[in-house]
Amino acid sequence: MLTRWSELDRAFSVMDELQRRMNRLFDEVDSGRWAGSSFVGGAWPPVNLYDAGDDLVIRAMVPGLTEKELEITGNQEVLTLSGERKLEVPEGYSVHRQERGGVRFSRSFTFPCKVNLEKTKAAVKDGVLTITLPKAPEAKPRQITVKAE
């Protein structure tokens, strides 16, 4: 399971890299810089995938973004997370330091098992997005009873 996810993610990481380069173009116009991420990988937002039995769960670090500013779309087997974090200097302020940066992003994911994208739930709390994807019935763990003879 683990390898499958990472292999697929690697394929997508190529797309991410392209996206990142595009982001960088925008950022260079916006802010002048977008320092490398302190997280593994470097794609934004950083994402973890969990197996929670009946569900797969994605958690993503999205500081500053609300539900409204995030777009989650499901298309067959692919889930896409996109949005934009705008870098705005508050009005009337001068800039001393800018490390947070603005970013326009779009990341796509496929999953190691079949999921029901229509029943996906998403919530943001303290700048962390949690997406819960129920597994398709055939992919859910099953208890097999062992009969004694």
Partner 1 sequence: MSDKLEKYQDKTPEQVQERAYLAPRVDIYENESELLLLADVPGVSKQSLTVHLDKEQLLIEGHVEEPKVGALLGGEFQAVDYRRSFILPPGIDGGRITADLKQGVLSLRLPKAEGLKPRQIQVKAG
Tell me the closest approach of the beta carbon of residue 120 to partner 1, in angstroms: 15
Residue 35 contacts partner 1 per CB under 8 A: yes
Pattern 66-105, partner 1, x by CB under 8 A:
x----------------------xx-xxxxxxxxxx----
Residues contacting 109, CB < 8 A, separation 6+:
8, 9, 12, 47, 49, 58, 78, 79, 80, 81
Contact between residue 114 and residue 135 where contact means Cβ atoms under 8 Å apart: yes
Q: Which residues is 6 bridged to in the sheet?
A: none
Residues that bind partner 1 (CB under 8 A): 1-2, 5-6, 9, 35, 38-41, 43, 46-53, 55-57, 59, 61-66, 89-90, 92-101, 112, 124, 126-128, 130
